[in-house]
Amino acid sequence: MKHYEVLLIIKPTLEETEVKARVDFIEGVITKNGGKITSWQDMGTRKLAYKIDKFERGVYKVCYFEAPTALIEELVRNIRINEDIIRFLVVKYETKREIAAWEKLSRGEKLNQIKKPEPRAPKATKEEAKEENEE
């Protein structure tokens, strides 16, 4: 089974119980088709980068799951039918490094940021180098 992540942006006009019903529906599609859900993360209501269907905000939910490849087509079909989900994104993790990142994300851990190298001291000019050599 492959590792996947699906990000859902749900209409902000829905009540919590309605949002929960949409999440349960997606969960059902995944489990009925042979997938195994690892975790759900609620990212809350956020401002969208641009208006989508007259909405400026959206409720973000992220699901981490393992599934056979055939499940993704069925999942996408069901998400597109649902009018309350205004955008979605399915991401597949393939390499060992990506799968390690998936495991951390599914546990709710943040990935380590890439450390920037410390700036080097400016090089000494030729005159300064001569003075140091003479001493």
Domains in the chain and their CATH numbers? 2-106 (3.30.70.60)
Q: How confident is the model at residue 23 (pLDDT cuts 50, 70, 90)?
A: very high
pLDDT at position 12 is 94
Least confident range of 54-58, 73-77, 84-88, 108-112:
108-112
What is the b/e burial string over 118-128, where b = at least 16 CB atoms within 10 angstroms of the residue's CB? eeeeeeeeeee
**pTM exceeding 0.85:** no
CA gyration radius, the chain: 24
45 three-state secondary structure = strand
3-state secondary structure of 14: coil
Per-residue pLDDT at 128 exceeds 70: no
